[in-house]
Structure 1
């Protein structure tokens, strides 16, 4: 008989309400009626699946995956690494992890991003990788810059990296964003202010990892993703809990 694992009840207090007027965009985006739960079909939960053949060498190296030959992205070189874990801290292998971010000046390579910062011709701002048998993932990149956004007169987003984790199919996707330990803009961000429990902010903050830092080369930051339970990472597309 299989051993039963400990059940971890959802901690809904970590998740912000859909309507949080301090973050002005939520006023237009939040639903006005109760949500309707729809079950996924078997085809949605079982496929398509991901394999090693879907990931090209260098997809997880944002320093060079968009750069011209012999060139590299401009900015503070970082290594972002960690593990994808379940509620009992067991590794989740062969999971597709994707990241996307602004460049060192705080600008995205997107047609609608009109911030004054210059585009870096050698930085695309996105990458992907599969977790290994220990649930481990790793990216090389540059530390993104802060940027202003039209919330109130002087609202700025702290440096952050968006991350998504896929299950066995495209509809099994969790999306979040991580911040950097010690960033003075974190307590001033209107989006972060929507989190009712400050421990949730800590769960979204990558820790400086000097043990993994490469001397004279790259500063390392560690960010583990926990998929379920009361220890879970806060996912912005699963506001009702995980």
Structure 2
């Protein structure tokens, strides 16, 4: 007999508030002793395969000011284009790479930073290869539901031009809001604009 769960009421929605950092990144919030390091702070080690890259950026509001209380997570494939996930049907993902990272924006300048690897190409649901990309999830005070977007690589011009998701953008000139800027060898800047003329394309997923 199925148990009646009608007594479980939906929890009221709230903004992330200041507590998201205490729960998700306690060390970054100055609360030590919960975890040796915040979950998601390290994505790779000396045995991880692939080209090491650094991604820096800020989450910028409609007034062109950085959010200093933002929290950013990323998901990505490994260098071979495989996800470290039980749902990866192709198997064989690099066990030395988590494929997931989390970073609290700096309380002074609002910057986030990830040390990761450049991902390989992943097939779209119809089999076409997507360009190398990293999925971003952003939450902060005033954002009720996390925002999703993707970061593509500036040197992958041909792959970007063929990417099934980017091809769906109605306004082609906005594609550049999802492409990082190179900052030297294996270093990228990806600023995420919440509003304004340079508003980043966000995905409904």
Counterpart of 1:81 in structure 2 is 56
| Unpaired stretches in structure 2, ≥5 consecutive residues | 1-10, 28-36
CA pair 42-110 structure 1, distance change in 2 beyond 3 A: closer
CA distances 1:149-173 after superposition (whole Å, capped 9, x unpaired): 332xx61111000001102378331
The answer for the alignment partner of 1:6 in structure 2 is: none
Query: 1:72–1:122: 8 Å Cα contact kept in structure 2?
Result: yes
| Structure 1 CA distance for aligned equivalents of residues 178 and 148 of structure 2 | 12
Alignment match, 1:199: 173
Are the counterparts in 2 of residues 178 and 206 from structure 1 also a CA contact under 8 Å? yes
Question: Aligned to 1:99, which of 74, 78, 82?
Answer: 74
Distance 1:46 1:162 in 2: 20
Matching residue of 1:236: 203
> How far does residue 47 in structure 1 lie from its aligned partner after superposition?
4.9
| Matches of 2:178 and 2:141, distance apart in 1 | 24
Gaps of 5+ in 1: 1-40, 65-70, 214-218
Question: 2:64 and 2:41 mapped to 1: Cα distance?
Answer: 24
Residue 15 of structure 2 aligns to a residue in which SS?
helix
Report the secondary structure of 2:95's partner residue: coil
* C-alpha spacing 1:223/1:121, structure 2 compared with 1 (3 Å): same
What's the offset of the Cα at 1:112? 2.4
Structure 2 residue 178 is matched with structure 1 residue 208: no
CA gap of 1:169–1:113, structure 2 versus 1, over 3 A, is: farther
For the 8 Å contact 1:181–1:208, the answer to whether it is kept is yes
- The CA deviation string for residues 13-32 of structure 1, in whole angstroms up to 9 with x for no partner, is xxxxxxxxxxxxxxxxxxxx
Deviation at 1:182, TM superposition (A): 2.1
Where do 1:180-195 residues align within 5 Å?
A: 180-183=153-156, 184-195=158-169
Poorly superposed stretches of 4+, deviation over 4 Å: none
TM-score relative to the length of structure 2: 0.79
Give matches, 1:66-215, under 5 Å.
71-115=46-90, 118-132=92-106, 133-151=108-126, 155-168=128-141, 171-183=144-156, 184-210=158-184, 213=185
The verdict on how the C-alpha distance between 1:187 and 1:43 changes in structure 2, with shifts beyond 3 A counting, is closer
Q: TM-score, normalised by structure 1?
A: 0.68
